[in-house]
């Protein structure tokens, strides 16, 4: 162990101790979740969050704090959605139907139903490919019910999410292609609950825009069972959502200037917007307060970084990515040199490690630091990783990193009404800040060379 490594491990231990004994991120998350709450871009809460973040970073004493303007979509949910399943003995025998109130919520960006709602027979499919097999005759005039589960056998639940989410994202337009009048999509959840999970979707402009909702995994199981038993199922759906005109919003940036290489920027960030149904405590309140905390830990410990550190709280990750796109555009215009961008947008759970998308020399460098992380039980260093907000920096050759907490419980909360402060653990949240801070320490001290 060289003198370097000894100094590094001492600095890392100090930062980690500070995070666990004198942390500020939990209290910040309390405010963001409980005083502001859900904050979709364009909402009044999103502006409260912008002002709060700016003020908080100034109070932390960062060298500079500024707002970065961007135009954002403005979608509103409106009155609570209604989803009633009507179960008949069979498709032919329509006597004495059973009615079930289900737990649904509109997908972000969805159009409303006509006033009074839509009622139509349900056709259940496993995938977008199934639509083609069934053809227009089986689908026209119906409500398509996408019911493919997230694969419980995947150890990283983000992998399972990636393999299931096309039903939500592309399903509505693909169903409309065959004449469907609406879609309901099984929620992106590994387990079974009565919480519907919202999320974004995208219409194809040349196809009819049909209303689309997520249905809880509990209700999806019920409907699936009735359909498999040969019973007739219709669905009545009513939604009041609306897309308003694009509006001006902001990402919030805070900076500690580097002492030796101020032109070399290390970015740590998450997204400030969050879905409207919960408080966005995990997604991505955790990432917001952790990003600010990384810089605060340096400042409060009296450490002046050699390279410039930036906390970036991006606006509009959930339904447009406008903040991330704008940030990359300006970075290019201003010839900024980011030596690394780290995104924390995977929840406030126990840290596991990092993923890095870059060249093999940088990955080898990261691996060479792995022993320094061992005391903190950080063992995972994957050769790929990044994040939605920092993704647009990729074409400028910026090394992209994902901070990776444990993923097992993330999709219990993701995009639901239970993504709330009480479901984030203080210590786990603080360990996340600390883990990023010690990586940022290493990179700010040594660079990638």
**Minimum gap (Å) between residue 281 Cβ and Zn ion:** 11
Q: Does 284 bind Zn ion (CB under 5 A)?
A: yes
Options 345, 412, 417, 430; binder of Zn ion; rule CB under 5 A: 345
Rounded to an integer, what distance in angstroms lies between the CA atom of residue 36 and that of residue 29? 10
**Alpha-carbon gap, residue 54 to 49, rounded angstroms:** 9
Tokens describing residue 137: 């005759």
Q: With contact defined as beta carbons under 8 Å apart, do 423 and 411 qualify?
A: no
Instruction: Give yes or no for residue 279 binding Zn ion (CB under 5 A).
Output: no
With contacts defined by CB under 5 A, name the span among 8-16, 228-236, 255-263, 284-292 that binds Zn ion: 284-292
139 contacts 146 by C-beta, under 8 angstroms: no
Q: Could you tell me how many residues of this chain bind Zn ion (CB under 5 A)?
A: 3
Q: How far is the CB of 270 from Zn ion (least distance, A)?
A: 7
Alpha helices in 80-144 (DSSP H): 128-139
283 binds Zn ion (CB under 5 A): yes
Q: Which is nearer to Zn ion, 369 or 410 (CB)?
A: 410
Using the contact rule CB under 5 A, the part of the chain among 146-154, 278-286, 372-380, 439-447 near Zn ion is 278-286
* Closest to Zn ion by CB, 174 or 283: 283
Nearer to Zn ion by Cβ, of 81 and 283: the residue is 283
Q: In what order do the strands lie in the sheet with 104-106?
A: 98-101, 82-88, 232-238, 118-125, 143-146, 182-186, 212-215, 104-106
Q: Is 389 in the site for Zn ion (CB under 5 A)?
A: no
Query: Contact, 440 vs 309, CB < 8 A?
Result: yes
Query: H or E segment at 23?
Result: none
Q: Could you tell me how many helices (H) and strands (E) the chain has, helices first?
A: 13, 16
Please say which residue, 11 or 164, places its beta carbon nearer to Zn ion. Answer: 164
Choice between 172 and 278, CB closer to Zn ion:
278
Integer Cα distance of 108 and 196 in angstroms = 13
Site for Zn ion contains 336 (CB under 5 A): no
How far apart CA 287 and CA 217 sit, in angstroms, is 27
Shortest reach from residue 313's CB to Zn ion, in Å: 12
Q: Which residues are catalytic?
A: 317
Q: Which range of residues in 28-36, 49-57, 68-76, 341-349 is near Zn ion by CB under 5 A? A: 341-349
Which region, judged by CB under 5 A, interacts with Zn ion, from 137-145, 199-207, 209-217, 338-346? 338-346
CB of 317 to Zn ion, least distance (A): 6
CB of 362 vs Zn ion, minimal distance in Å: 25
With respect to Zn ion, which residue has the nearer C-beta, 324 or 399?
A: 324
φ/ψ (deg, to 5) at 116: 90, -10
Least gap, CB of 289 to Zn ion (angstroms): 14
CA distances for 11 relative to 62, 401, 431, 441, angstroms? 20, 22, 16, 8
Q: How many CA atoms lie within 13 A of 95 on its CB side?
A: 1
- DSSP run (H or E) holding 224: helix 217-228
Binding site for Zn ion (CB under 5 A): 283-284, 345
């Amino acid at each position: 162990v060289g003198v370097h490594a000894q100094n590094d491990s001492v600095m890392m231990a100090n930062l980690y101790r500070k995070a666990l004994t004198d942390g500020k991120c939990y209290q910040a998350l309390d405010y963001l979740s409980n005083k502001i709450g859900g904050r979709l871009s364009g909402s009044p809460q999103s502006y409260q969050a912008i002002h709060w973040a700016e003020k908080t970073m100034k109070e932390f004493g960062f060298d500079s704090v500024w707002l970065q303007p961007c135009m954002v979509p403005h979608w509103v949910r409106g009155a609570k959605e209604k989803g009633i399943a009507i179960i008949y003995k069979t498709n032919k025998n329509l006597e004495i139907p059973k009615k079930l109130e289900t737990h649904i919520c509109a997908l972000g960006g969805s159009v409303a139903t006509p006033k009074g709602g839509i009622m139509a027979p349900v056709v259940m499919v496993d995938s977008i490919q199934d639509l083609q097999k069934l053809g227009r005759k089986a689908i026209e005039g119906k409500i398509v019910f996408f019911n493919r589960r997230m694969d419980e056998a995947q150890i990283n639940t983000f992998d399972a999410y990636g393999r299931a989410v096309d039903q939500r994202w592309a399903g509505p337009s693909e169903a409309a292609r065959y004449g469907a009048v609406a879609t309901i999509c099984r929620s992106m959840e590994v387990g079974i609950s009565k919480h519907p999970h919202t999320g974004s979707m995208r219409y194809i402009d040349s196809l009819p825009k049909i209303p689309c909702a997520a249905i809880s995994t509990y209700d999806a199981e019920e409907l699936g069972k009735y359909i498999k038993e040969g019973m007739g199922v219709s669905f009545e759906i009513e939604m009041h959502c609306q897309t308003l005109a694009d509006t001006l919003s902001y990402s919030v940036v805070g900076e500690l200037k580097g002492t030796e290489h101020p032109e070399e920027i290390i970015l740590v960030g998450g997204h400030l917007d969050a879905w409207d149904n919960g408080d966005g405590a995990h997604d991505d309140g955790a990432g917001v307060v952790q990003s600010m905390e990384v810089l605060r830990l340096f400042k409060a410990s009296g450490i002046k970084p050699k390279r410039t550190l930036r906390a970036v709280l991006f606006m509009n990750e959930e339904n447009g990515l406008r903040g991330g796109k704008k940030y990359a555009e300006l970075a290019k215009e201003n010839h900024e040199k980011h030596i690394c961008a780290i995104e924390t947008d995977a929840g406030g759970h126990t840290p596991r490690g990092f993923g890095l998308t870059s060249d093999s020399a940088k990955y080898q460098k990261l691996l060479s630091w792995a022993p320094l992380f061992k005391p903190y039980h950080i063992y995972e260093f994957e050769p790929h990783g990044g994040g939605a907000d920092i993704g647009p920096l990729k074409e400028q050759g910026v090394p992209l990193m994902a901070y990776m907490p444990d993923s097992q419980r993330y999709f219990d909360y993701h995009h639901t009404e239970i993504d709330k402060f009480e479901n984030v653990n203080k210590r786990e949240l603080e360990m996340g800040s600390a883990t990023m801070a010690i990586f940022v320490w290493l990179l700010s001290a040594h660079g990638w060379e």
